A and B are shown apart, each in its own frame.
Chain A
């Protein structure tokens, strides 16, 4: 394995570990609420009289539909990102030694 590939693998492992460790350490005691929701709770605690004066244009979605839409967003982004990287890669391999610069 080349050094470059090793670094890539280590980087990926580090990212995975960074998010797997909190899940494993926790052992099911916390529910990993989103911080956005925690902020709403904090507002309602500090200012119980506050009424949201505008509601979302979309009716409240069931959690499963919502997570599907989040997955859709990630899929769209991932698709475009993959397409771009694929094109860049294809371009690089189809043009061997891109114009070796005019030598004097």
Chain B
């Protein structure tokens, strides 16, 4: 989902930067507020950021014969709500743009919009929906990770279609083309990411139960009982 440096026309680059900026600023304030008011959650906040850091560094092969990387933003969105991920995801993208020449500064706004804003919000929405339908924490996490990953790549495809509409078939034709590049490849990765999220939260439910209860992810339960 990293649109390469310089590969969005200036107007689009500026537009996406302007669109993403308020979310990132709001996210930065959310992170500061979280750390200040709940210093006991700082460890978990670090875990959420680290999870995205690892997953977005790893390119994985897919059934389409191409490779792509997961985003890992769903976990933090479930734990701390999406605004926090707007900052953490953008930090990851900035690191990659500056040090890895992956993505870029001119496309940072667009990439942040897809990976750090749309992805976390879509994943969080899917999580809330799952929970309100009676799903447990782990099914909710699986759906959140999967949807956050897919939504990120769909957004990137649409951003590129908007910037490079097809000569004959316009935006729709270009959208089909870019979705063909991104979306199908991403499906097995999104499933894999969902499973990794479940693994992470299985560790957290046993080892960080007080935090999860405080964040409202688990109901306060007798201390001895373990979630299976």
Q: List which A54-77 residues lie within 8 A (CB) of chain B.
A: 54-58, 60-61, 66, 69-71, 73-74, 76-77
* Partner among A32, A57, A81, A87 whose Cβ is within 8 Å of the Cβ of B105: A57
Does B208 make an interface contact (CB < 8 A)?
Answer: yes
Residues 97-108 of chain B, each 1 if its beta carbon lies under 8 Å from chain A, else 0 = 111111011100
- Complex Cα spacing A21 to B191, Å: 14
- Complex Cα spacing A4 to B205, Å: 12
Does B1 make an interface contact (CB < 8 A)?
Answer: yes
* Partner among A22, A58, A71, A80 whose Cβ is within 8 Å of the Cβ of B99: A58
* Partner among A18, A34, A69, A101 whose Cβ is within 8 Å of the Cβ of B59: A34
The answer to whether B62 touches A22 (Cβ under 8 A) is yes
| B165 CB, nearest partner CB in chain A, Å | 9
The answer to whether B164 touches A43 (Cβ under 8 A) is yes
Residues 32-56 of chain B, each 1 if its beta carbon lies under 8 Å from chain A, else 0 = 0000000000011011011111111
Does B134 make an interface contact (CB < 8 A)?
Answer: no
Does B28 make an interface contact (CB < 8 A)?
Answer: no
Contacts of A33 in B (CB 8 A): 66-67
- Complex Cα spacing A84 to B147, Å: 26
The answer to whether B7 touches A85 (Cβ under 8 A) is no
The answer to whether B195 touches A57 (Cβ under 8 A) is no
| A79 CB, nearest partner CB in chain B, Å | 8
Does B128 make an interface contact (CB < 8 A)?
Answer: no
* Partner among B47, B164, B177 whose Cβ is within 8 Å of the Cβ of A80: B47
The answer to whether B4 touches A40 (Cβ under 8 A) is yes
The answer to whether A15 touches B181 (Cβ under 8 A) is no
| B104 CB, nearest partner CB in chain A, Å | 6
- Complex Cα spacing A30 to B105, Å: 31
- Complex Cα spacing A76 to B49, Å: 11
* Partner among A46, A52, A70, A81 whose Cβ is within 8 Å of the Cβ of B47: A81
Between-chain CB contacts (< 8 Å), 20 pairs: A19-B188, A21-B63, A39-B4, A39-B160, A40-B7, A42-B181, A46-B174, A57-B105, A58-B98, A61-B100, A74-B54, A76-B53, A77-B53, A79-B50, A81-B51, A83-B46, A88-B204, A89-B207, A91-B207, A101-B223
**Across the A-B interface, the 5 shortest Cβ-Cβ residue pairs:** A52-B6, A30-B65, A77-B53, A77-B54, A80-B50
